[in-house]
Structure 1
Amino acid sequence: MNRSLIFDIGCHIGEDSEFYLKKGFHVVAVEANPALCVILRKRFVKEIIEGRFVLVEKAIAERDGQVEFFVNKASIWGTIRSHMAERNAAAGAESTKISVPSTRFRSLIEQFGMPYYLKVDIEGADHLCLEGLQSFSDRPMYASIEVDQSSVFEMHQSVKLFKQTGYTRFQIVNQGLVPLVRSPNPASEGQYAPHEFPEGATGTFGKELPGEWITETQSRLEFVKIFARNKLDGLSKKAPGLKMLRSRVPGSWYDLHGALPAELENSQYHSPS
Structure 2
Amino acid sequence: MKDRADTSASAGDSLRACPDLICDVGMHTGEDTEFYLKKGFRVLAVEANPALCARNAEQFAEPIAQGRLTILHTCVADRDGVSEFHVNRTVTEWSSAHEHLGARGGGADRIEVPARALDSVFREYGVPYYLKIDIEGSDDIAIRALRPMPIRPVYVSYEASSFAGAALLFGMGYTRFAVARQREVPQIRQPDPAREGLSVEHRFVQGSSGPFGKEVAAPWGTIDDCVREQVIWRHLQRNNPGQKNEWADIHAFAPGNLRFFQPTPAS
Aligned partners of 2:131 and 2:153 also within 8 Å: yes
Distance 1:83 1:94 in 2: 9
Which ranges in structure 2 are unaligned for 5 or more consecutive residues?
1-16, 263-267
Correspondence for 2:185 among 170, 178, 185: 178
Q: Determine helix, strand or coil for the equivalent of 1:133.
A: coil
Find the counterpart in structure 2 of residue 239 from structure 1. Answer: none
Correspondence for 1:219 among 214, 226, 232: 226
Using the aligned pairs only, state the percent identity.
Answer: 38
Correspondence for 1:269 among 256, 261, 264: 261
Aligned partners of 1:9 and 1:120 also within 8 Å: yes
Q: What residue identity is the alignment partner of 1:74? A: V
Q: Is 2:239 the partner of 1:232?
A: yes
Work out which of the two has the higher radius of gyration on C-alpha atoms and give 1 or 2: 1
Correspondence for 2:99 among 76, 82, 92: 82
Aligned partners of 2:28 and 2:47 also within 8 Å: yes
Q: What TM-score does the superposition give when structure 2 sets the normalisation length?
A: 0.87
Q: Determine helix, strand or coil for the equivalent of 1:117.
A: strand
Q: After superposition, what is the alpha-carbon deviation per residue over 1:153-189, rounded to whole angstroms, capped at 9, x for unaligned?
A: x3x2222112122210001111111111112111100
Q: Is 2:155 the partner of 1:142?
A: yes
Correspondence for 1:42 among 54, 58, 65: 58
| CA apart distance, 1:206 | 0.5
Find the counterpart in structure 1 of residue 110 from structure 2. Answer: 97
Correspondence for 2:40 among 24, 28, 33: 24
Correspondence for 1:56 among 46, 54, 72: 72
Find the counterpart in structure 2 of residue 259 from structure 1. Answer: 253
Q: Determine helix, strand or coil for the equivalent of 2:136.
A: coil
Aligned partners of 2:176 and 2:223 also within 8 Å: yes
Find the counterpart in structure 2 of residue 3 from structure 1. Answer: 19
Q: What TM-score does the superposition give when structure 1 sets the normalisation length?
A: 0.85
* Alpha-carbon spacing, 1:264–1:65, altered in 2? closer, same or farther (3 Å): closer
Moved more, 181-190 or 222-231: 222-231
Which ranges in structure 1 are unaligned for 5 or more consecutive residues?
149-153, 235-245
Q: What residue identity is the alignment partner of 2:29? A: I
Distance 1:250 1:18 in 2: 28
Q: Is 2:172 the partner of 1:165?
A: yes
Distance 1:83 1:96 in 2: 12
| CA apart distance, 1:210 | 1.5
Aligned partners of 1:130 and 1:165 also within 8 Å: no
Find the counterpart in structure 2 of residue 242 from structure 1. Answer: none
Q: Determine helix, strand or coil for the equivalent of 1:222.
A: helix
| CA apart distance, 1:83 | 2.8
- Per residue, is there more helix in 1 or in 2? 1
Q: What residue identity is the alignment partner of 1:169? A: R
Runs of 4+ in 1 over 4 A off after TM superposition: none
Distance 2:190 2:78 in 1: 35
Q: Determine helix, strand or coil for the equivalent of 2:145.
A: helix
| CA apart distance, 1:268 | 4.2
| CA apart distance, 1:82 | 2.1
| CA apart distance, 1:115 | 0.3
Distance 1:250 1:186 in 2: 36
Aligned-residue CA RMSD (Å): 1.7
Q: Determine helix, strand or coil for the equivalent of 1:226.
A: helix
